[in-house]
Amino acid sequence: MMRKLFAWLSPHRPQALPEALWQNTVATLPFLRGLSAEELERLKSLTEQFLAEKSFSAVEPLELSDAICLSIAAQGCLPILNLGLGWYRGWLGIVVYPDEFVIPREVQDEDGVVHRYDEVAAGEAWEGGPLLVSWSDAQLAGEGYNVVIHEFAHKLDMLNGEIDGIPPLHPGMDENVWSRVLLDAYDDLCDRLDAGDECVIDPYAAEDPTEFFAVASEVFFETPDLLNTHYPLLYAQFASFYRQDPLSRMRPRGLLD
């Protein structure tokens, strides 16, 4: 059962966010604290446009609140802070679940036999369709696990058709270099997991290169020092693609020393 959102999120009419609500949201998202005043102002403006353009709904028993929509919108807008809202074109809906939810899956094996099963998920991004997210998981943002950034990274990946861990790259970026760096890091992570090593990022990243891109994007924005330490070449590619350097935002706060 879906519920409709508040009037102030009506389509196509960006409205100024109440300042206290915006400040409360920023305070709950530690990875936003390193943004400059100018960047925070731009994030706020982008978030206002996002809220005007996208349509939120919730699955019972969750009831949408301004704070929920704003938190998801602000997190979702961070990856496109220097790219623009056009990077989230082609879809409108965000469905917020109270908790993890079940997605019926269907796969066909090599003998043509169709296997059906249920997968429990914290988020899901449908190509050309809505983005689904668990609110209880979204509230865990801050320590390298960020389901919102994860799903929005999938949306960026989907923008050029194939879902393959390669979003549309900017002029001057080389898709071969991106692929090689991403796959090298992915292979290294899989080797480490096979060897029983402690994993610096969520082992779910080993699922496939697409998931690796989404999980590594979470790490890039939330704990960039980890990504830069273990996969510096990947960090550099992400910095070029997202046109951000989250590591530089950590330094003034002395979080690395």
d(CA 236, CA 242): 10
- Of 152 and 242, the one with the shorter C-beta distance to Zn ion is 152
Joined together, the tokens standing for residue 128 give 């050309």
Shortest distance (Å) from residue 155 CB to Zn ion: 11
- Of 48 and 211, the one with the shorter C-beta distance to Zn ion is 211
- Give the range of 7-15, 83-91, 113-121, 207-215 binding Zn ion by CB under 5 A: 207-215
Shortest distance (Å) from residue 138 CB to Zn ion: 14
Count of residues interacting with Zn ion (CB under 5 A): 2
CA angle 99, 205, 228 (to 5 degrees): 115
E-state strands within the chain = 2-4, 55-59, 93-97, 101-108, 114-121, 123-125, 131-134
DSSP H stretches of helix in 29-86 = 37-53, 66-77
Shortest distance (Å) from residue 121 CB to Zn ion: 8
Quick one: DSSP state of residue 126? -
Residue nearest to Zn ion (CB): 214
- Of 48 and 202, the one with the shorter C-beta distance to Zn ion is 202
Shortest distance (Å) from residue 105 CB to Zn ion: 13
d(CA 228, CA 245): 10
Shortest distance (Å) from residue 214 CB to Zn ion: 4
Report phi then psi at 122, rounded to 5: -100, -15
d(CA 166, CA 232): 18
Q: Which string of x and - marks every residue 58-87 that binds Zn ion (by CB under 5 A)?
A: ------------------------------
- Of 34 and 167, the one with the shorter C-beta distance to Zn ion is 167
- Of 34 and 165, the one with the shorter C-beta distance to Zn ion is 165
Is there binding between residue 214 and Zn ion (CB under 5 A)?
yes
The answer to whether residues 129 and 93 touch, using CB atoms and an 8 Å cutoff, is yes
- Of 43 and 185, the one with the shorter C-beta distance to Zn ion is 185
Shortest distance (Å) from residue 217 CB to Zn ion: 10
Q: Which of 156, 171, 169 is nearest to 210 (CA)?
A: 156
Binding site for Zn ion (CB under 5 A): 211, 214
